[in-house]
Amino acid sequence: MFLSYDQMKMVNKRVSDEAKRLGVKWMLGGECGHMWRVLHSFMDTLNGPFDFLEEPVSPVTGTKFKRAASTKLVHICEFTADLIKHGKLNVDPSKNDQFTVTMSDSCNPARAMGILEEPRYILKNICNNYVEMDPNTNREKTYCCGGGAGLLTDEIMELRMTAGGPKAMAIKNSKANFVALICAICKANYPYLMNYWKIPARIGGVHELLGNALVMK
């Protein structure tokens, strides 16, 4: 389903109104590609500027998130990578040793918005077995999973599987058995893609692996 500009503005206004009601200082975005692009690219023109918010500063490490100076929105991977960098999370990478992990870059956060290094920094600190797939199919050159741009409907499953074929082959060639993602659309489409192309890889989020690795007292 596609939203018109007015519909997107109305939905986005709920975020603005709730931030004002709660009196938050800044906002933290999760593992969702479309959310990140809409809020980071269009927030100021939809219902902004969000001048009632502050420039984001981590309450744990004191880091200023300069990329979020305008929108006041920090990506969860930026926040988590900063926590790991400053030794604020106790992790045991061996808890993910059953997996050979690869990062599949999703279109909106990667190619459109440049969130490339932060998820990898997290993964390399919480997994002993991390591999990169062919860079010509990933990072800034990433292929779509086949489910984006409104294609995530069962009526066009064959089109989705065909469109996602090049990325599926890149995952197969990487020999990974866990594909880490930071996009809800990819997370919904990839299980079908792996089954269709007969690739024995599990699908999950970066922070799912972080949850595995956390050492809690």
- Looking at the structure, do residues 122 and 177 belong to the same domain, yes or no? yes
- Looking at the structure, do residues 183 and 139 belong to the same domain, yes or no? yes
CB atoms < 10 A from the CB of 38, how many?
A: 19
Does residue 1 register a pLDDT over 60?
Answer: no
Of 62, 85, 108, the position where a domain reaches its end is: 85
Q: Residue 100 in contact with residue 178, Cβ under 8 Å?
A: yes
Does residue 212 register a pLDDT over 90?
Answer: yes
CA 85 – CA 108 distance, rounded (Å): 25
- Looking at the structure, do residues 198 and 99 belong to the same domain, yes or no? yes
* Mean pLDDT value across residues 59-75: 89
* Mean pLDDT value across residues 82-106: 97
The pLDDT assigned to 32 comes to 86
- Residue 165 domain boundaries: 93-213
* Mean pLDDT value across residues 25-41: 84
* Mean pLDDT value across residues 143-151: 79
**CB-count burial class (<10 Å; 0-12, 13-18, 19+) for 25:** middle
CA dihedral 137, 141, 144, 150 (to 10 degrees): 180
Of 6-10, 62-66, 122-126, 185-189, the one with minimum mean pLDDT is 6-10
- Looking at the structure, do residues 105 and 203 belong to the same domain, yes or no? yes
- Under the banding of pLDDT at 50, 70 and 90, the label for residue 2 is low
* Mean pLDDT value across residues 185-206: 94
- Looking at the structure, do residues 105 and 201 belong to the same domain, yes or no? yes
- Looking at the structure, do residues 79 and 97 belong to the same domain, yes or no? no
* Mean pLDDT value across residues 32-58: 83
Of 45, 68, 85, the position where a domain reaches its end is: 85
- Structural domains in the chain (count): 2
